[in-house]
């Protein structure tokens, strides 16, 4: 079932020219996310900030010990904690998975178009005075880099490049692709780790199936690099899935194609036992991804091609802002 794809009709935006798709996408984002775009420096993942802003006396039960300002505490003999201001300028780095498995889709959007929609939402939500957006696109021919820049023109240029990029196609004659393999997700994360020098926001948009081991006890090859990124940055992992990756419909005999290698396999979906095994294996696979993202410390946002992606993003951002605004004691009590 790994990376299996089945032929489907063109999704909603495929028939439009890139500029028409871009206008429709921008309209959707600005209308649906309008309430989140108001206010200054309200990031996608609100955090405590990193700019030093002096010290104050320690308040037991409210302050974290790890924020203790030991130098001031030693001078005054009174416990003090460091205060920080929210960062006024944010650099957001995107890693967009544009590998062959992202070409699949059986709903209004395919996975790649949903990834572009997510990039648009991230771009508009993090836009602000002085904020910059950079991207690396992991395709079948390597990594395409977009330097970190600010402004709407830069964001629209990035979206236009993503929409107009050529699509990877699997062989249609039943042959198998040669041994040359595209860069893996772990390679893209390594490349991003090298350029994202300043603390900021890192957003990874992928199906996270790349290199996923058959044994759930083993770590995916990209987990360690993702953990290194979370040690320096706020990291948001946007997982993109399609309903046919989670369950098979009862439609008789179909031909499944692995978009990465071109391998074909005929499957009889009328077999109820087969459908149940497929659904169980798919759920175990997605749980494996969720556990890996949780261990790495990344914030997880799941998007599906058959759901309202803008509503999912709105709910996620509101939930993050509620957590950020909640008192520390209340958050600890809720977690307990």
**What CATH number does residue 307 fall under?**
3.40.50.410
CA–CA separation, 97 and 136 (whole Å): 9
Same domain flag for 124 and 251: yes
In a domain, residue 106? The reply is yes
Same domain flag for 56 and 142: no
Cβ–Cβ under 8 Å, residues 114 and 240: yes
CA–CA separation, 300 and 322 (whole Å): 16
Same domain flag for 65 and 194: no
215: tokens are 């044994």
Same domain flag for 201 and 63: no
Same domain flag for 168 and 299: yes
Number of domains into which the chain is organized: 2
Backbone angles phi, psi at 233, to 5 degrees: -130, 165
Same domain flag for 284 and 222: yes
Q: What pLDDT does 180 receive? A: 47
In a domain, residue 194? The reply is yes
Same domain flag for 33 and 120: yes
Q: What pLDDT does 62 receive? A: 62
Full domain range(s) for residue 22: 18-42+88-324
Same domain flag for 70 and 139: no
Mean pLDDT by 10 residues, the chain (336 residues): 40 56 77 61 51 68 73 85 63 92 86 92 81 89 88 89 72 49 82 88 94 88 94 93 92 83 85 93 94 94 92 85 60 43
In a domain, residue 214? The reply is yes
Same domain flag for 221 and 250: yes
Which residue from 44, 20, 83 is spatially nearest to 324, judged by alpha carbons? 44
Count CB atoms within 10 A of the CB of residue 59: 9
In a domain, residue 9? The reply is no
Same domain flag for 32 and 146: yes
Same domain flag for 168 and 68: no
Coil/strand/helix, residue 281: helix
In a domain, residue 301? The reply is yes
Cβ–Cβ under 8 Å, residues 87 and 46: no
CA distance to 35, 132, 133, per residue, from 153 (Å): 22, 12, 11
CA distance to 16, 21, 215, 241, per residue, from 238 (Å): 25, 21, 23, 10
Same domain flag for 69 and 129: no
Q: What pLDDT does 107 receive? A: 84
In a domain, residue 74? The reply is yes
In a domain, residue 29? The reply is yes
CA–CA separation, 8 and 268 (whole Å): 17
In a domain, residue 335? The reply is no
């Amino acid at each position: 079932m790994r990376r299996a794809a089945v032929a489907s009709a063109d999704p909603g935006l495929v028939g439009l020219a890139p500029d028409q798709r871009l206008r429709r996408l921008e309209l959707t984002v600005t209308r649906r996310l309008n309430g989140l775009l108001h206010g200054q420096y309200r990031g996608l993942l609100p955090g405590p900030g990193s700019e030093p802003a002096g010290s104050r006396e320690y308040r037991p039960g409210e302050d974290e010990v790890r924020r203790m300002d030991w130098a001031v505490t030693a001078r005054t003999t009174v416990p003090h904690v460091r205060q920080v201001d929210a960062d006024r300028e944010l650099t957001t780095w995107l890693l967009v998975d544009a590998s062959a498995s992202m070409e699949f889709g059986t709903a209004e959007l395919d996975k790649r178009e949903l990834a572009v929609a997510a990039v648009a939402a991230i771009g508009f939500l993090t836009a602000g005075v002085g904020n910059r957006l950079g991207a690396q696109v992991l395709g079948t021919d390597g990594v395409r880099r977009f330097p970190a820049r600010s402004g709407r023109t830069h964001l629209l240029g990035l979206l236009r490049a993503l929409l107009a990029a050529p699509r990877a196609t699997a062989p249609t004659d039943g042959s198998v692709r040669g041994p040359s393999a595209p860069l893996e997700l772990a390679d893209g994360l390594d490349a991003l780790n090298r350029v994202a020098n300043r603390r900021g926001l890192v957003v990874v948009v992928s199906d996270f199936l790349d290199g996923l081991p058959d044994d759930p006890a083993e770590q995916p090859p990209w987990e360690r690099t993702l953990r290194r990124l979370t040690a320096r940055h706020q990291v948001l992992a946007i997982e993109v899935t399609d309903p046919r990756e989670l369950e098979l419909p009862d439609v008789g005999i179909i031909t499944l194609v692995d978009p990465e290698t071109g391998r074909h396999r005929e499957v009889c979906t009328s077999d109820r036992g087969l459908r149940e095994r497929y659904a169980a294996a798919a759920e175990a696979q997605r749980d494996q991804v969720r556990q890996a993202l949780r261990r790495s410390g990344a914030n997880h946002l799941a998007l599906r091609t058959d759901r309202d992606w803008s509503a999912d993003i709105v709910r996620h951002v509101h939930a993050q802002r509620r957590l950020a605004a909640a008192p520390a004691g209340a958050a600890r009590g809720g977690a307990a």
